C-alpha cells in the first residue's frame, strides 16, 4: 500500500505507475491519494483561482519552482500522473479532494481516468474543506471523520474481513 497527502499523494500515484511498468514490482495493493496534484504541467483550465485558503496558484508555482528544474518536461507522467497514457491495472484507489482546494479538479480528473480504465476507485470530495484539512483534526470535526474514513478504507483493503 502507498499513501500520501498533497505532494506525497503525487509521489504515491507515480510509485503506482512505476511499479506497474516494472511488472507490478513492488506489488502495491492499494493507493490512498489525499488532494493529489496530478498535473504539474501547465495550469489546468479548470483549476479554481482559490485564494486565501492556504494554497493558491502563486504558492503552487512557488513549490514547483523549488521542486523542478526550469527545463524539465512537466507533462512527464512521472511528474504528472494525469498525463499517463495507460492507467489500467493500477491498484484500487481511495482519492480525497477538498472543495476549496485549487487541486480539487485534477484529483477528480485522476479518479475519473482511473475509473474509465477499470481501476476500482473510491472518490470522496469534502466540498466545505480546504487543502491541508487532513492535518486539522484538532480544529475541524469533519477532518477527524475524513481521517477515520480513510483509515477504515485502508483496513478494509489490507484485510477485507475487517469490513464486517
Instruction: Provide the sign of the torsion angle of the four alpha carbons 12, 115, 92, 87, taken in this order.
Output: negative
Least confident of 38-47, 117-126, 134-143: 38-47
Domain ranges, residue 19: 2-163
Number of domains in the chain: 1
11-30: average pLDDT: 95
Closest CA to 31 of 125, 128, 154: 154
- Alpha-helical runs (H) found in 3-160: 7-21, 57-67, 104-116, 141-158
Cβ atoms 33, 95 nearer than 8 A: yes
pLDDT value of residue 161: 83
When the pLDDT of each residue in the chain is averaged and rounded to a whole number, the result is 91
Is the pLDDT assigned to residue 64 strictly greater than 80? yes
71-90: average pLDDT: 95
Cell numbers found for residue 66: 523549488
Is the pLDDT assigned to residue 18 strictly greater than 80? yes
Residues near 76 by beta carbon (within 8 Å), at least 6 away in sequence: 41, 83
- Model pTM greater than 0.85? yes
- % of the chain with per-residue pLDDT over 70: 92
Instruction: Give the residue numbers annotated as catalytic, written as ranges.
Output: 6, 101, 131
State the CATH number of the domain containing residue 12: 3.40.50.1820
Closest CA to 47 of 23, 30, 32, 64: 64
Is the pLDDT assigned to residue 14 strictly greater than 60? yes
Q: How far is CA 106 from the centre of its chain?
A: 9
2-31: average pLDDT: 95
pLDDT value of residue 41: 72
Alpha carbons 58 and 45: distance in angstroms, whole number: 16
Closest CA to 117 of 88, 93, 92: 88
Is the pLDDT assigned to residue 42 strictly greater than 70? no
74 HSE (CA, 13 A, CB side):
16
Amino acid at each position: 500500500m502507498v499513501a500520501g497527502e498533497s505532494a506525497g499523494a503525487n509521489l504515491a500515484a507515480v510509485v503506482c505507475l512505476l511499479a506497474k511498468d516494472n511488472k507490478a514490482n513492488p506489488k502495491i495493493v492499494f493507493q490512498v491519494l489525499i488532494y493529489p496534484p496530478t498535473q504539474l504541467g501547465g495550469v489546468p483550465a479548470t483549476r479554481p483561482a482559490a485564494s486565501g485558503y492556504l494554497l493558491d496558484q502563486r504558492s503552487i508555482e512557488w513549490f514547483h519552482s523549488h521542486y523542478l528544474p526550469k527545463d524539465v518536461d512537466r507533462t512527464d507522467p512521472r511528474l504528472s500522473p494525469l498525463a499517463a497514457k495507460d492507467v489500467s491495472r493500477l491498484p484500487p484507489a481511495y482519492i480525497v479532494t477538498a472543495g476549496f482546494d485549487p487541486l480539487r479538479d485534477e484529483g477528480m480528473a485522476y479518479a475519473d481516468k482511473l475509473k474509465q480504465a477499470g481501476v476500482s476507485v473510491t472518490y470522496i470530495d469534502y466540498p466545505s474543506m480546504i487543502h491541508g484539512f487532513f492535518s486539522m483534526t484538532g480544529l475541524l470535526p469533519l477532518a477527524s471523520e475524513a481521517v477515520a474514513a480513510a483509515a477504515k478504507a485502508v483496513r478494509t483493503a489490507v484485510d477485507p474481513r475487517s469490513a464486517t
